[in-house]
A and B are shown apart, each in its own frame.
Chain A
Amino acid sequence: MKHRLALYAWLAAVVATTLVHQPAVLAAGLAAVVLASGAGRGRLLGRALRAVAPVLLLLSTGYLLLGWWTGELAWRFLLLLNLRVTLLALLTAWAVRDIDFDRALARWPAARRWLAIVRSQVTVFRRLATEYRAAVQSRSTLPPTLRQRYRAGAALGLAALDKAMYNSEALTQGMRSRGALDE
């Protein structure tokens, strides 16, 4: 229940943020979220900033250059854009940290099941990629060329696909045998 309400609150907050066009209100919202997010707020803010910094840097620099070129620069817009995108990213980072999506989606078992299956496959792929990269690095003293990286990537991709398919079939059979896919 708590997680479902938190999920709704997050969705409402995200939509509300896109309806606000005053930088002062957005700055106050940002400060409020930072304060309310509790212990680990610095890490949370860092995570949000890392996610949006490349986009904001690109957009802000482009807008500054265009403004300098045309002589029409709206500082208020720059502030608005940066505050809004950062606040949205922070809200999402907070939701990801504190909402248990498995519990929040309890009312929708199909969505929950689907999410679980795909997540498990993502974990398998990631583990295989890490193992393969470590194996390649341990055998070579020089960094691979771009061509070698593409070839290794292709080989890894196909091997991982076979492994993941085998895993997924076993997982589905397991879920079927326990009645999880009966409805």
Chain B
Amino acid sequence: MHIPDGLISPQTYLPALALAAPLWVVAARRLRARMGDELLPRLAVFTALAFLLSTLMLPLPGGTSGHLLGVSLLALVFGPWVAFLCYTLVLVLQAVVVGAGGITALPVNALTLGLVAAWVTWGGYRLLRGLGETLAVAAATWLGIMSAALVLALVLGLQPVIAQAADGTPLFFPFGVAVTLPALLVPHALIAAGEAALTVLVFRHARKRRWLEAMP
């Protein structure tokens, strides 16, 4: 779902960078305070898993496909701050290894996919956990992914308004919110369901293996 380089205007990515940079510092400080011999390998494995999930295509009905994110899993296992930092690393790796996403789009992608998705998932889980763990994990994951898709659709859809030439033609992403909202939200309702199922599967496995016990 992440945005490639060249579709986001500097009027968007520079303020996004100004917002993301202090948040990365806060997240790094929180991670440093918790870092130990048990956390480091788990973090590395789950970050690598998120990277691979985001490179694997999920077949959808009708012959299309989308990719999973893995950020909800990071948020549920390590908390939203650590998930934000780890997912930023995933986005950097995607940009420089796979050529997906990009460096100028990194702050926007990190804020939407890393921060928004992680916090909504984590907050949703805390709100819904009275309903049972499986349902809470699945619903929180679905909500997290859909929230990220919504914010991304709004950011993309605002580009023709934010950056246009003197004659009114767009300079970056050309379509408005009337196009971006359905284009992103409809397929992601299905992708988020796939992600929810996978998150439940791995979360339960992690609990069985007692990988969650060292986490707050």
Q: Report the bound CA distance from A181 to B39 in whole Å.
A: 13
- A62 CB to closest chain B CB (Å) equals 7
The count of A-to-B residue pairs whose CB atoms sit within 8 angstroms is 147
Chain A neighbourhood of B4, CB < 8 A: 51-52, 55, 85, 88-89
User: How many residues does chain B have at the interface if contact means C-beta atoms less than 8 Å apart?
Assistant: 47
Across the interface, do B40 and A172 meet the contact criterion of CB distance under 8 Å? yes
Q: Say yes or no: A66-B175 contact (C-beta < 8 A), given A122-B48, A165-B45.
A: yes
A85 is contacted by which of B6, B9, B209 (Cβ under 8 Å)? B6
Across the interface, do A96 and B96 meet the contact criterion of CB distance under 8 Å? yes
Question: Is B34 located at the chain interface by the 8 A CB criterion?
Answer: no
Taken residue by residue from 96 to 125, chain B's Cβ proximity to chain A (1 for < 8 Å, 0 otherwise) reads as: 111110111000000000000000000000
Q: Report the bound CA distance from A126 to B48 in whole Å.
A: 10
Q: Report the bound CA distance from A17 to B5 in whole Å.
A: 10
Question: Is B37 located at the chain interface by the 8 A CB criterion?
Answer: yes
Question: Is A178 located at the chain interface by the 8 A CB criterion?
Answer: no
Taken residue by residue from 58 to 81, chain A's Cβ proximity to chain B (1 for < 8 Å, 0 otherwise) reads as: 010011001000000010110011
Q: Report the bound CA distance from A157 to B173 in whole Å.
A: 36
B51 is contacted by which of A51, A76, A122 (Cβ under 8 Å)? A122
CB-CB nearest in chain B for A101: B96
Segment at the A interface, from B131-139, B143-151, B164-172, B184-192: B164-172
Q: Report the bound CA distance from A92 to B106 in whole Å.
A: 13
Taken residue by residue from 141 to 183, chain A's Cβ proximity to chain B (1 for < 8 Å, 0 otherwise) reads as: 0000010010000100110011011001101110010000100
- B186 CB to closest chain A CB (Å) equals 15
Interface residues of B (CB under 8 A from A): 4-10, 13, 37, 40-42, 44-45, 47-49, 51-52, 59, 89, 93, 95-100, 102-104, 165, 167, 169-175, 179, 198, 201-202, 205, 209, 211
